[in-house]
């Protein structure tokens, strides 16, 4: 069922399928956010910085100090929205844009029916839905990374300078939207080295190197400003390597739950070491292999798409190394900082990896698997994903929203997100 014609083809029905999936996604988002967006302590800082930027042109914390805890792009975007209703439109647009861009990429990276499954899995994405309910930077981060992956692939595929410029500009915005953008870019560099570096022309190697340098410079300058100019470091002595094992276990469970119908309570049923091993196993199985790729395409398709094969394989490996890089570096970060630790923070921080994980999973599906087995897997996967998406949307709908008078108020005026991520 999953095996079909080569990647990059656009069946006439595919556009309609993407539109329907987008409508389902927006319906879930509209229901979850109908009472209004919710917030946490982070949200208060975002909203206050947005208001001060709109009023004075400066990003400030509620105590009057320079805004520095998170990168500046998200509050700048919020300042342009002008209201909580405008932010809701921003988040909904980011979700839809992310779905469209990853669906387009799926048509180039995956085979026909695998690509057709991707928009529906994205539309029923619970990590995307969860982060879009809160005044958090993740929704825009999802869109920026989707745009980056699409423009990078276009440059690798066409070699046009325009796409190199677009990829570099969007890559520059990645770490200015979320610090995790630096981790993703580190993964991109690793993916290029582990991918087709030796087979790339010398000019392409230099352009890729220049691209990565220019993409990271903005994020590095912001980190310098935040740590040395705007205030003292937020980091502290390490909490021990036991925290690293705990964080690896959290990410192992989160990635496993995206692929299997695991209840939240399942995290506590097994020790940290088991879920950490599960993380390594998942990542190992999803590594894009040449032998697997060769088995996907008929000989005729391989000859016709030879020009597309190297950029396709390279981007798949880049998505894999970006996933590994973010998970590894964030896990290490939890040893020295309070943020990103715990199961619910892990799902929030990893939400940007949901689409790459789906692409890698669909690309790694055995080409010669029996049709009946493929049908069972698809049915169970879609049913469990839809069931969880509906449950999470209902939980998010019940969360008390931020009120308009809190637009400029600091502090933890939100609520715990655990119940909504079951």
DSSP per-residue letters across 241-287: HHHHHHHHHHHHHHHHHHHS---TTHHHHS-HHHHHHHHHHHHHHHS
Q: What is the mean pLDDT of residues 53-61?
A: 92
pLDDT-based confidence at residue 299 (cuts at 50, 70, 90)? very low
* Residues 110/2, Cβ–Cβ less than 8 Å: no
Q: Give the DSSP letter of residue 406.
A: G
Tell me the average pLDDT across 337-363. Answer: 89
The predicted pLDDT at position 195 comes to 67
Can you give the pLDDT at residue 202? 84
Tell me the mean pLDDT in the region 118-147. 97
Give yes or no for a contact between 390 and 13, defined as CB atoms under 8 angstroms apart: no
Lowest-pLDDT range of 53-67, 142-156, 238-252, 273-287: 238-252
Radius of gyration in angstroms for the set of CA atoms belonging to the chain, rounded to a whole number: 21
CB–CB of 125/30 below 8 Å?
A: no
Task: Give the C-alpha separation, 369 to 73, whole Å.
Answer: 45
Q: Do 102 and 122 touch, CB atoms closer than 8 A? A: yes
CA max distance for the chain: 65
Measure the CA angle with vertex 269, ends 268 and 271; round to 5°.
75
User: Within 10 A of 379 (CB to CB), how many other CB atoms are there?
Assistant: 10
Average pLDDT over residues 210-221: 96
* 9-53 residue pLDDT tens: 456 667 888 999 999 999 999 999 999 999 998 999 999 999 999
- Least confident among 160-164, 305-309, 316-320, 344-348: 305-309
Angle CA 307–311–316, to nearest 5: 140
Query: How many CB atoms lie under 10 A from the CB of residue 338?
Result: 12
Mean model confidence pLDDT for the chain = 85
Mean pLDDT across 277-302 = 66
Region 195-217: mean pLDDT is 87
CB 319 within 8 A of CB 226: no
Residue with tokens 């390594």: 280
Please give the Cα distance from 341 to 250 (Å, whole number): 8
Using CA atoms, how far residue 363 sits from 47, 59, 410, in Å, is 40, 43, 45
Q: Which residue's entry shows tokens 């995206």?
A: 258
Token pair for 253? 């469970």
Q: Tell me, what DSSP letter sits at residue 36?
A: -
Per-residue pLDDT at 13: 65
pTM confidence score: 0.90
Q: Residue 299: what are its φ and ψ, rounded to 5°?
A: -60, -40
Provide DSSP, 292-344: HHHHHS-HHHHHHTHHHHHHHHHHHHHHHHHHHHHHHHHHHHHHHSSTT-SHH
* Percent above pLDDT 90 for the chain: 60
CA distances (Å), origin 356, targets 153, 189, 386? 13, 16, 19
pLDDT of residue 408: 47
């Amino acid at each position: 069922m999953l095996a079909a014609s080569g990647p990059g083809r656009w069946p006439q029905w595919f556009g309609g399928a993407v539109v329907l999936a987008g409508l389902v996604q927006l319906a879930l988002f509209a229901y979850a956010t109908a009472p209004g967006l919710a917030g946490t302590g982070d949200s208060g800082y975002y909203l206050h910085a947005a208001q001060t930027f709109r009023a004075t042109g400066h990003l400030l914390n509620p105590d009057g100090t320079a805004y520095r805890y998170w990168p500046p792009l998200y509050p700048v975007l919020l300042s342009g929205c002008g209201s909580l209703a405008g932010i809701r439109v921003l988040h909904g647009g980011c979700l839809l844009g992310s779905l469209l861009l990853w669906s387009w990429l799926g048509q180039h990276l995956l085979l026909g029916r695998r690509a057709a499954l991707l928009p529906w899995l994205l539309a029923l994405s619970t990590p995307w839905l969860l982060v879009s309910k809160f005044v958090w930077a993740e929704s825009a981060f999802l869109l920026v990374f989707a745009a980056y992956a699409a423009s990078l692939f276009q440059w690798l595929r066409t070699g046009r300078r325009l796409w190199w410029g677009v990829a570099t500009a969007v890559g520059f915005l990645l770490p200015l939207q979320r610090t995790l953008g630096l981790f993703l870019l580190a993964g991109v560099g690793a993916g290029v080295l582990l991918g087709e570096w030796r087979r790339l022309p010398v000019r392409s190697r230099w352009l890729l190197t220049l691209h990565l340098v220019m993409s990271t410079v903005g994020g590095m300058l912001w980190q310098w400003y935040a740590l040395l100019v705007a205030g003292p470091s937020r980091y502290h002595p390490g909490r021990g390597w036991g925290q690293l094992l705990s964080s690896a276990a959290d990410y192992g469970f989160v990635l496993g739950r995206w692929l299997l119908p695991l209840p939240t309570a399942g995290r506590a049923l097994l020790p940290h070491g088991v879920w950490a091993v599960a993380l390594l196993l998942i990542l190992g199985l999803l590594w894009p292999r040449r032998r697997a790729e060769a088995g996907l395409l008929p000989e005729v398709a391989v000859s016709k798409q030879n020009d597309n094969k190297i950029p396709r394989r390279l981007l798949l490996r880049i998505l894999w190394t970006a996933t590994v890089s973010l998970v590894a570096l964030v896990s290490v970060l939890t040893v020295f900082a309070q943020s990103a630790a715990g199961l619910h923070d892990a799902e929030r921080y990893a939400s940007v990896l949901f689409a790459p994980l789906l692409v890698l999973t669909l690309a790694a599906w055995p080409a010669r698997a029996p049709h009946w087995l493929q049908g069972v897997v698809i049915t169970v996967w879609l049913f469990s994903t839809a069931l969880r998406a509906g449950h999470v949307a209902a939980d998010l709908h019940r969360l008390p929203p931020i009120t308009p008078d809190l637009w400029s108020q600091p502090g933890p005026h939100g609520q715990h997100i655990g119940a909504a991520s079951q």
